[in-house]
Amino acid sequence: MFETRYVDVGWAKLAVHTVGSGPPALLIHGYPLDHRVWLDLLASPLTARNTLVAVDLRGHGMSPWAGDPVHAMELFADDCAALIQTLALGPAHVAGLSMGGYVTLALWERHPKVVRSLALVDTRSAADSEQGKAGRMAAMDAVVNAGRRALALAMIEALVPSDADLITKGRIASMIEFQPVETIIADLRGMRDRVDRTWVLPTVRVPALVVVGERDTLTPPAEATQIARAIPGARLVVVPGSGHLVPIDGAAVLVRELGAFWRDSE
Ligand code: MLT
């Protein structure tokens, strides 16, 4: 079982969930999720070689909302850097899922010294298109007017392949419904306004792994391929049959790949 504690970073209090021993690896979840998206990794053989530190970004999971109307990716990245420094984890392996990947690229841009290696999972480097920004506005409208359950049900179909089992779908839906409305709105604003970090990719000077589900329709394999090509020496892994949440529906492959990647990066 992992240990949960709270760490103060400026005005925010972050819940961190730690298990294992060895070089630390910070796991940054996606939107609108929390550390539980990594549960299969936290209970995996990865913990024999690495200390896994799954953070709840401010306002998510067990971390209280800090009152920010916008969760900018830079704000999350600065929180993660402060966390790594406060817990003396650095330089740490960093793995980011989707929105966590946006945060990981911002972390590399702003605080490269705290990063030992980068794993970008089901994510992209580009900013939102105009259509994407409109989708954020529609999601804000949906969560305010129809509620989190409706948002969860609408999102599930995009997050996992439609033939995913009921337990998987239920696990994800309950995680989405658990996040405060304030957090969901602030995340949507932050993602809508985030900058294009494609220029950051060629500046990466640490080992990099890019992972994507073969059936990920939100951040599809074509985008992951471009990310991997742009980062010097990056390795690309396409997980057969998985959708947008590889830590859940492709966990066994992710455990194997991260284990080998972190071992080779130490
Ligand atoms: C996520 O999984 O974090 C989101 O799909 C990211 C996004 O909506 O851009």
* pLDDT for position 13: 97
Nearest to 210 by CA among 250, 243, 239, 248: 239
Q: What is the distance in A from the centroid of ligand 1 to the CA of 30? A: 6
* pLDDT for position 85: 97
In the block, residue with structure tokens 């970008």? 120
Q: Which atom of ligand 1 is nearest to the CA of 100?
A: 3
Tokens encoding 159: 């997050």
* Best residue among 31, 38, 128, 249 to mutate for probing ligand 1, ranked by most atoms within 8 Å of CB: 31
Q: What is the mean pLDDT of each run of 10 residues along the chain (266 residues)?
A: 94 96 98 98 98 98 97 98 96 98 98 98 98 96 95 93 93 96 98 98 98 97 98 98 97 98 95
In the block, residue with structure tokens 């590889």? 246
Nearest to 169 by CA among 158, 180, 160: 160
Q: Which amino acid is at 95?
A: A
Nearest to 191 by CA among 109, 108, 100: 100
Q: Kindly report whether the peptide bond that precedes residue 32 is cis, defined as omega within 30 degrees of 0.
A: yes
Tokens encoding 179: 């996040």
* pLDDT for position 134: 98
* pLDDT for position 51: 98
**Cα gap 235→237, rounded to integer Å:** 7
* pLDDT for position 53: 98
Tell me what percent of the residues of the chain surpass a pLDDT of 70.
100
Tens of pLDDT, residues 109-139? 999 999 999 999 999 999 999 999 999 999 9
Q: What is the distance in A from the centroid of ligand 1 to the CA of 223? A: 14
HEC sequence for 191-222: HHCCCCCHHHHHHCCCCEEEEEECCCCCCCHH
**Cα gap 266→51, rounded to integer Å:** 13
Q: Which atom of ligand 1 is nearest to the CA of 191?
A: 9
* pLDDT for position 266: 86
Q: What is the distance in A from the centroid of ligand 1 to the CA of 22? A: 30
Q: Which atom of ligand 1 is nearest to the CA of 97?
A: 3
Q: What is the distance in A from the centroid of ligand 1 to the CA of 185? A: 13
Q: Which atom of ligand 1 is nearest to the CA of 98?
A: 3
Tokens encoding 130: 């105009």
Q: Which atom of ligand 1 is nearest to the CA of 99?
A: 3
The DSSP-derived string for 113-150 is: GGEEEEEEES--SSPPPHHHHHHHHHHHHHHHHT-HHH
In the block, residue with structure tokens 């969760």? 71
Parallel, antiparallel, or unpaired for β 3-9 and 12-20?
Answer: antiparallel
Q: Measuring from each residue's beta carbon to the nearest atom of ligand 1, which residues come in under 6 Å?
A: 30-31, 98-99, 191, 218
